[in-house]
Amino acid sequence: MKKLYGIGTGPGAPDLLTIRAVNVMKECDVIFAPNNKGTNMALDTAKEYIGDKRTVLIDFPMGNVTKEDYMKAADTIFKEIPAGKSGAFLTIGDSMIYSTFIYIMNELEGRDIGIEIVPGIPSFVAAACASKMPLTVKGDSFLLCDEYDEKLIDNIDAVAILKTFKNKEEILNNLERIDFNYTYVKRASLDNQEVLTDKEEILKDKDYISLILGRRK
């Protein structure tokens, strides 16, 4: 039987890859990752452990990705893993959190292929460590969301918002209105990591690899 590992490569720093992830990548016969104009952050994170291993970048259309796109990706992965061999699909963060791998895994269900997940450190955990802002303390309720929805936050003590590029000012204004402190972290764990708390500095920054953490005062 073929085997596919879903490997979370963490927030970006190579030394935050888990030992298990490194060992699995070294044992696999082929590496898969989404194609982002010929590059991929997860691949960049893991490159020293991948070496010259065969790598297949999988194309996904810009904008809305359909079920057919995931089916096509699953077909490619199944075809590219040799019989009795294994492959690894790399994702930033963790494979079970807002990940393309989740949908590919669903499309592979029922085929003659085993699936195993290797956990990775999520970006919001790395950001909390960088900013020293606790995600939760005893008795807290915590919300993780990819896109901010103020309707979800009324009874929440802390929040991590992963997609902030398009409506950053609206998010900050709303967090202020409901009496939350906030911290903006970009490039968490990388050499060019920055932790910002000043609103004007946050609004000026245009880095896509960023998130916002908030806690009720």
CA 208/CA 163 separation, integer angstroms: 8
pTM of the model: 0.87
Same-domain pairing of 129 and 212: yes
Q: What is the CATH number of the domain that holds 27?
A: 3.40.1010.10
Same-domain pairing of 16 and 103: yes
Q: pLDDT band for 125, please (50, 70, 90 cuts).
A: very high
Same-domain pairing of 104 and 134: no
Structure-token pair, residue 40: 């991929």
Same-domain pairing of 32 and 112: yes
- The closest of 203, 205, 137, 209 to 175, measured between CA atoms, is 203
Tell me, what's the pLDDT at 93? Answer: 96
Structure-token pair, residue 165: 């590029």
Do the bridges between strand 158-163 and strand 210-216 make them parallel or antiparallel, or are there none, so unpaired?
A: antiparallel
User: For the chain, what is the domain count?
Assistant: 2
CA 86/CA 82 separation, integer angstroms: 7
Same-domain pairing of 109 and 144: no
Same-domain pairing of 27 and 114: yes
Do the bridges between strand 142-147 and strand 158-163 make them parallel or antiparallel, or are there none, so unpaired?
A: parallel
| Domain boundaries, position 9 | 2-118
Q: By mean pLDDT, which of 34-48, 100-114, 116-130 is the weakest? A: 34-48
